[in-house]
Amino acid sequence: MGARSMVALEKRGNWRTGDPRISKDVTPSIEVGHLLFWANHLVREFSWPVVVWSKSAQRAIKFYTADADGDMTGKELKLEFCEQCEKNTPTDDSSKECSVCSGELSQPRDELLYGQVRKLCTWDHLMQDVLAAPSWDDLLQRRDELPFHLATAALGEYALLHNGRPELFDGYPDVGGSWFYRSAIVQVTAWLMMAKAREEFGLSDIASGTYHMSLKERGVDLAKWRHYVAMAIDLHRKGDRITPVRKGFYKLA
Ligand SMILES: [Zn+2]
């Protein structure tokens, strides 16, 4: 992910909401938003853990590994001096266990192949290229060129760059639940940021407009995706950011 994105993320700060379903046990500067999807892609693609920290809180480390489904799961570590390693290492704050000494961070992983690095660079370039799309519709047309999690990240980043309603949306709600749901949250929120004032938008249009072709092989057909999109729309309806106009259709508040 580009340095520009990380800086932009820090500037944006946290999601303002009183919704109780939005998890509070996160570090906003890192955890909020679509960059998580980049990390999830890395975890799915490679055997190494992903370690993330922000400029503003360099001692707070997020440590991500893959769960049984290959999706990302994480915990928070703190950068502390380890006598054994004789340097600062990500350490579990409660058990005081150093992640290098415990083997968690230092266990042998698959060798990094040149082709994998090249593939990552290709994704990064493609991402930049897709982000330069002249319109939201163009971006949606191109979403299948990227793997699912990166497509989510691209839609999320694009909408933040062109956000038409900053007073309603200043970032992405960080919710728990499945990655399909979390992805739907980012994509629906992005769609709403791009919606024009007084424009009506339909649940079905958003669902088919954001459905990614790779979802099918992961057991999510369009009907199931529509269900996640409906949940994401409901979150915003309850947060008074959108209002229903008729069945299945909404407009911005
Ligand atoms: Zn150590």
**Rounded CA separation 159/168 (Å):** 13
Residue 247 and residue 181 share a domain: yes
Residue 210 and residue 121 share a domain: yes
Residue 130 and residue 184 share a domain: yes
Residue 102: the pLDDT is 92
Domain span at residue 140 reads 114-252
Residue 67: the pLDDT is 86
CA of 240 to the centre of ligand 1 (A): 49
Local confidence band at 33 (pLDDT 50, 70, 90 cut-offs): low
Range scoring the smallest mean pLDDT among 22-31, 145-154, 242-251: 22-31
Residue 233 and residue 209 share a domain: yes
Asked if residue 3 has pLDDT above 90, the reply is no
Asked if residue 126 has pLDDT above 50, the reply is yes
Does any domain span residue 103? Answer: yes
Residue 154: the pLDDT is 92
CA of 63 to the centre of ligand 1 (A): 16
Residue 177: the pLDDT is 86
Does any domain span residue 98? Answer: yes
Residues contacting residue 5 through CB under 8 Å, at least 6 positions apart: 35, 157
Asked if residue 78 has pLDDT above 50, the reply is yes
Local confidence band at 34 (pLDDT 50, 70, 90 cut-offs): low
Say if CB 85 and CB 98 are below 8 A apart: yes
CA of 89 to the centre of ligand 1 (A): 6
Long-range contacts of 103-106 (CB under 8 A, 24+ apart): 104/49, 104/63, 105/49, 105/51, 105/63
CA of 11 to the centre of ligand 1 (A): 33
Residue 219 and residue 104 share a domain: no
Task: Please give the full DSSP string across the chain, using - where no structure is assigned.
Answer: --HHHHHHHHHH-------TTB--SS-HHHHSSTHHHHHHHHHHH-SS-EEEEETTEEEEEEEEEE-TTS-EEEEEEEEEEETTTTEEEEE-TTT--BTTTTSTTTS--PPPPHHHHHHHHHHHHHHHHHHT-SSHHHHHHTGGGS-HHHHHHHHHHHHHHT-S-TTT-SS---B-S-HHHHHHHHHHHHHHHHPPTT--EEHHHHHHHH--GGGGGGT--HHHHHHHHHHHHHHHHHTTSEEEEETTEEEE-
Does any domain span residue 213? Answer: yes
Local confidence band at 54 (pLDDT 50, 70, 90 cut-offs): confident
Asked if residue 107 has pLDDT above 70, the reply is yes
Domain final residue pick, 68, 92, 111: 111
**Rounded CA separation 154/160 (Å):** 10
**Rounded CA separation 32/29 (Å):** 6
Residue 246: the pLDDT is 95
Residue 180 and residue 82 share a domain: no
Does any domain span residue 26? Answer: no
Residue 136 and residue 103 share a domain: no
- The full length of the chain comes to 253
CA of 231 to the centre of ligand 1 (A): 44
Asked if residue 143 has pLDDT above 70, the reply is yes
Residue 167 and residue 74 share a domain: no
Q: How many domains does the chain have?
A: 2
Say if CB 243 and CB 193 are below 8 A apart: no
Range scoring the smallest mean pLDDT among 57-61, 132-136, 185-189, 227-231: 57-61
Say if CB 72 and CB 39 are below 8 A apart: yes
> Which one is predicted more confidently, 12 or 226?
226
Domain final residue pick, 69, 86, 111: 111
Does any domain span residue 17? Answer: no
**Backbone dihedral angles phi then psi of residue 30, each to the nearest 5 degrees:** -105, -45
Asked if residue 201 has pLDDT above 60, the reply is yes
Closest of 123, 87, 89 to residue 106, by C-alpha: 89
Does any domain span residue 118? Answer: yes
Does any domain span residue 245? Answer: yes
Does any domain span residue 20? Answer: no
Domain final residue pick, 95, 111, 127: 111
Residue 88 and residue 76 share a domain: yes
CA of 106 to the centre of ligand 1 (A): 10
Residue 240 and residue 137 share a domain: yes
Residue 242 and residue 132 share a domain: yes
Say if CB 198 and CB 215 are below 8 A apart: no
What residues have their beta carbon closer than 5 A to ion ligand 1?
82, 84-85, 89, 98, 100-101
Residue 80 and residue 128 share a domain: no
Compute the Cα dihedral for 104, 40, 166, 168 and give only its sign: negative
pTM: 0.79
